[in-house]
Amino acid sequence: MKVVSMMTPRRLHSILSLPHLQSFTLTIIGRVDMDDGETLTRQTSSVDELSVDGKHVISLWNLGLHTSCPRVKKLKLNYQKEENVSSEIVTIACFPFHHLTHLRVKGYWPFELVALNDPVSFCDAVKTSCPQLTKLSLTRITLKNEKAAEIIQLMKTHPHLTSIELDACDTNAGLDPLISEVNSEAKVTVTVKHSQVRYNTRLHGHPLIDSHPFSGIPLIQSRLFV
């Protein structure tokens, strides 16, 4: 693990040059800087899992991160408190990866409200930019039953999708009949872990404050597989 306040092409290049690098997590960076005048041009074909913050996708892609990891199969987009999962960002993030089979969209810390305001545009973006997708996972995104149902109904028509997972997306048992119906069709398996957004009443209805020891600290993680 390496803690930094700024990401530059030179730093990215040094990380991506590590031999046998397969999984790369780049989250909660302070900012992305191109002041060193470089962009990434080398392809690192060994990286097949990539995790980045949604708000940094454009700046990281401008550095050339996506071209350096052309064989990504699993992409995780992380979002923080009060951010919205934008269909535009999903398209930009996913479109370069022709081997992408698993997209995971995740609210980074528990109890933080991450919105997905337009399920229709989101699903259109996923279908268009992820034609080979087999698994879609949404974790800690505030959907409630209505938006969750809309996503399930829209995504079950994706030609290659076989799995939809919703975890802690503010749903409840009212969604279960649809889950059973879709699963009975035996094309897509829908797995839902119901969980409602919890509030601390002692804080007068405000969400619980995150007490994670690394909260707010820029963080880079990479895993090496030999």
* Domain coordinates in residue numbering, the chain: 69-220
Question: How far is the C-alpha of 150 from the C-alpha of 214, rounded, in Å?
Answer: 35
- Higher pLDDT, residue 132 or 200: 132
Question: How far is the C-alpha of 202 from the C-alpha of 215, rounded, in Å?
Answer: 22
E strands, the chain, where? Answer: 21-27, 49-53, 74-79, 102-107, 135-139, 163-167, 189-193, 219-224
By C-alpha distance, which of 171, 169, 118, 176 is closest to 145? 171
**CA dihedral sign, ordered 11, 215, 205, 192:** positive
* Overall average pLDDT of the 148-167 stretch: 97
Question: How far is the C-alpha of 90 from the C-alpha of 105, rounded, in Å?
Answer: 9
* Overall average pLDDT of the 198-226 stretch: 38
pLDDT of residue 146: 97
pTM, entire model: 0.78
Question: How far is the C-alpha of 63 from the C-alpha of 9, rounded, in Å?
Answer: 6
pLDDT of residue 210: 35
Asked whether 109 and 96 are in contact (CB, 8 A), the reply is no
pLDDT of residue 3: 37
Burial label for 212, CB within 10 Å (0-12, 13-18, 19+), is exposed
By C-alpha distance, which of 184, 121, 177, 113 is closest to 149? 177
Asked whether 69 and 44 are in contact (CB, 8 A), the reply is yes
By C-alpha distance, which of 33, 128, 131, 135 is closest to 76? 135
Pick the CATH number of 69-220 from 1.10.10.10, 3.90.1170.30, 3.80.10.10, 1.20.1730.10: 3.80.10.10
pLDDT of residue 132: 97
